[in-house]
Structure 1
């Protein structure tokens, strides 16, 4: 499902010899799990989602329009067309969430940026005949407008610069900023796009790597090359903090950082890229979200798959020298986790992943990126 398939190939070609040194990519190793029937896993997941749609076309509307946009995007990614009854009904539901400011979000407006970014990706995928041109144009303008930049009277030295939060100009974080980049790429934005380059400034400040790109007080505390949620914080960070005042890296943010750098065209020789690739090598895992366990594991799967698909390499050799066919291993893991009714759900309910519609949408999106290009 890579929204910019050329980006990964261009990114990979920049320094192929260097890859051999740093990650030792090679032929796939044997996977311990039996090969999964990809088509059956996907078909059962798609059937489940289509059966759980509410009469108004929504999915889990009690938590906003996000699940509806994600579910519809997942169905579109797996071959359901815009004329499919379930897809058409959900698109009509999302159209009703289009606001006067161009955003596409629930009436309470708590998640304006997050929901608009996902809806924009969904409408872009559905926009085969120009039907959604106006919605797409206005939603893209909205997403660009809520990014924290010079227009807010701040400069690049500000910790918030280039980022975006759940409602836009609120406390920015890497997850929402990565969704912003994804949304712009889905609209055709290239690596030199001004908003993407500004987002890269914020993304770089979310990396546990002390460099000229990150001079925050957190940069050198952990220094493992991974990524944390946000540097725009104060006070006790709870389970995201370290005893010495650093911020812990964790898997979903690591892949969000890698993906954002791919889309921003960062060269493979860049120390930021080398550092996160080393983090990936040391923390390769399809059984859990590294650093978070089962919390947010389905969001992790979606981010993991999308980042590695954009990156463009079919195998990764971990720190123990084991080569992993990441697509094959993720498909096997998701097949193992799939319920009898075709759904997925997380027993760890943090970030609402106990909701089967949300978890199933993330799983299907991850599976879409597991299709070899």
Structure 2
């Protein structure tokens, strides 16, 4: 199978599987926020975002941040954009398919020594995220060459799990998860295991049929530590980014129970990630734990919407709506259509005149339009699929 045929397969399967700028630069700024989002408006917005992404592909086939020097290698941005394009309407036709092909070649043409991904020039950024997203894109390919790439990526991702073979003890907080390093003696420099990275790795391994029982069991140890269990009903079922107490990476801050014990406050983004991770590990949608997490996600999305401009999810609104959209698709909940409409309308209102999105908040780098636009296109496409919409 050629790369072009791979792109077409990925796009067709994405369809069939149903699966802030300044005010004067926004499309629809000042419009009635209560108006229902029409399917045509979603399609038009998604097409414009897709066209903007296509126009930012470099000659080497990758997408490179023009906002952050640490992301100019392009592996992280390229993997995210390719995933978004594979899930988006293809009004651009062959141009979009060709862009996906070139992006895949950028990510897989040069094998990395550790089994992850590396750019053609040997540079890379966010290699674990990039490898997991690349595996998600390649999982549907029937190309025999890509079978070898999938095996390499899956093995590379599993090798980074923080387990005893990498020097981690089972009683350590980070055990079983994924962080930016694999070795225990480097954790202080590269940070703790976190539910976001752990979730995307588990989803990729599950989709690729490479999630071994041992990997699953050890990952669940970490996920259980991330899940709130203080007995406070309001937070029951919620997840935190990392279970380490007093960790600034937990954007929700800390809570104190009646006994004076401090613990991280759950919030929306890691709760979506945690639910998706446990689903990848085989947890049924209707289990008590799953229902509790979905209930927390509903409460949190209602009380502190992603674009509210405050709260724990401030600075990662686009990531949050993309993750929430996937939860709604996988959970098939009754409130999905109404919630899609609410934040879908908000995305359309915030789209800039050139078709891109960007946040004014740099906290989680969503002020980079490559990142914000890719997440926005992912969320819109998932909303279209779940609501029965087809590209126009």
Task: State whether TM-score is above 0.5.
Answer: yes
Query: Is contact 1:259–1:307 with CA below 8 Å preserved after alignment?
Result: yes
Residue in 2 aligned with 1:208?
228
* Alpha-carbon distance in 2 for matches of 1:293, 1:260: 19
Q: CA deviation at 1:160?
A: 1.8
2:272 maps to 1:255: yes
Residue in 2 aligned with 1:331?
344
* Alpha-carbon distance in 1 for matches of 2:247, 2:233: 16
Residue in 2 aligned with 1:43?
47
Q: CA deviation at 1:364?
A: 1.2
Residue in 1 aligned with 2:81?
71
* Alpha-carbon distance in 1 for matches of 2:134, 2:286: 34
Residue in 2 aligned with 1:178?
199
2:361 maps to 1:340: no
Cα deviations across residues 320-363 of structure 1 (Å, max 9, x unaligned)? xxxx6222333222111111111111111122111111111111
* Alpha-carbon distance in 2 for matches of 1:260, 1:357: 25
* Alpha-carbon distance in 1 for matches of 2:332, 2:374: 23
* Alpha-carbon distance in 1 for matches of 2:341, 2:247: 42
Residue in 2 aligned with 1:34?
36
Does the C-alpha gap of structure 1 residues 140 and 74 become closer, same or farther in structure 2, counting only changes over 3 Å? same
* Alpha-carbon distance in 1 for matches of 2:201, 2:309: 22
2:290 maps to 1:291: no
How many pairs were matched up? 333
Query: Is contact 1:306–1:369 with CA below 8 Å preserved after alignment?
Result: yes
Does the C-alpha gap of structure 1 residues 68 and 274 become closer, same or farther in structure 2, counting only changes over 3 Å? same
2:292 maps to 1:275: yes
Q: CA deviation at 1:128?
A: 4.2
The TM-score with structure 1 as length reference comes to 0.78
Cα deviations across residues 245-271 of structure 1 (Å, max 9, x unaligned)? 321222111111111222222245644
Residue in 2 aligned with 1:25?
none
Q: CA RMSD in A?
A: 3.4
Residue in 2 aligned with 1:28?
none
Counterpart among 153, 167, 170 of residue 181 in structure 2 = 167
Does the C-alpha gap of structure 1 residues 304 and 239 become closer, same or farther in structure 2, counting only changes over 3 Å? closer
Residue in 1 aligned with 2:146?
132
SS in 2 for 1:283: helix
Residue in 2 aligned with 1:120?
135
* Alpha-carbon distance in 2 for matches of 1:234, 1:120: 34
Does the C-alpha gap of structure 1 residues 85 and 132 become closer, same or farther in structure 2, counting only changes over 3 Å? same
Residue in 1 aligned with 2:369?
356
2:243 maps to 1:231: yes
Query: Is contact 2:85–2:96 with CA below 8 Å preserved after alignment?
Result: no
Query: Is contact 2:255–2:264 with CA below 8 Å preserved after alignment?
Result: no
Residue in 2 aligned with 1:56?
60
Q: CA deviation at 1:296?
A: 0.7
